[in-house]
Amino acid sequence: MSGGERIRSLRGMFGARGSGDTSGYGRLERTVELPGGAQRPYGGWFDEAIDALEAALSEHEVALADAVERVDTDHGELSLEVRREHLPVVARALRDDPALRFELSLGVSGVHYPEDAGRELHAVYPLLSITHNRRLRLEVAAPDADPRIPSVTAVYPTCDWHERETYDFFGIVFEGHPDLVRIEMPDDWEGHPQRKDYPLGGVPIEYKGATIPPPDERRAYS
């Protein structure tokens, strides 16, 4: 595996500023680093799976190198970083090819890396092959300026609510989703609360007709 991609260095309370929270240890240091791409041979069943995916994609006249930007084997898990325009065909190949048979998507998770210029928003799909008892992860990136990723609900219907939740909290727009509306926050809520640029305090909450003060106004230390 090649060296990881460092995208951020955090110090103090991991970058928190002005929250009024004094519970952090001021000399903490942490580097945010994405895994580097792996090189063949990947080991185990990984090479067999990549070969099978390459063959399946060729039937759709899609080259593996065009669809998959990077292969990672960090922590013993096979992860494929897929270009967003090729996500549906890759997902369908992983589901339908007899040598792969990743029949189940366990959901969708969003990640926000503000310093990863042009790739700030990531969607992560953990897949499970019940047939072969294997796990694989797909990851797709999109820029803040164009946060669109194709929906995979036509391939994995279980992703319906998960894509809505990821849209709700991160603002990723899943194109082709049958009903992409908020699932937890109110319909008229402004912003996406799990993004790194969302304010930690200063936002009052309305709940059942009552207004709850923002967290930084409710904290008290003695």
| CA–CA separation, 216 and 68 (whole Å) | 43
Specify the pLDDT at position 220: 56
Nearest in space to 205 (alpha carbons), one of 218, 220, 221 = 218
Within 10 angstroms of residue 217's Cβ, the number of other Cβ atoms is 12
CB 76 within 8 A of CB 98: no
Q: How far is CA 184 from CA 48, 162, 188, 213, in A?
A: 40, 11, 11, 20
For residue 196, what are its two tokens? 């790194």
Distance from chain centroid for Cα 101: 22
| CA–CA separation, 33 and 115 (whole Å) | 11
Domain boundaries, the chain: 5-9+35-188
Indicate the class that CATH gives domain 5-9+35-188: alpha beta
Q: What is the pLDDT of residues 165-215, one digit of tens each?
A: 999 999 999 999 999 999 999 888 889 999 988 876 666 677 777 877 766
Q: What is the CA radius of gyration of the chain?
A: 20
Round to the nearest angstrom and report the end-to-end CA distance of the chain.
49
Backbone angles phi, psi at 32, to 5 degrees: -90, 115
> What is the pTM assigned to this prediction?
0.81
Tell me which DSSP letter residue 201 carries. S
Label the pairing between strands 121-129 and 109-112. antiparallel
Q: What is the pLDDT of residues 26-58, one digit of tens each?
A: 667 777 777 778 888 989 999 999 999 999 999
Specify the pLDDT at position 25: 57
Q: What is the pLDDT of residues 84-143, one digit of tens each?
A: 999 999 999 999 999 999 999 999 999 999 888 899 999 999 999 999 999 999 999 999
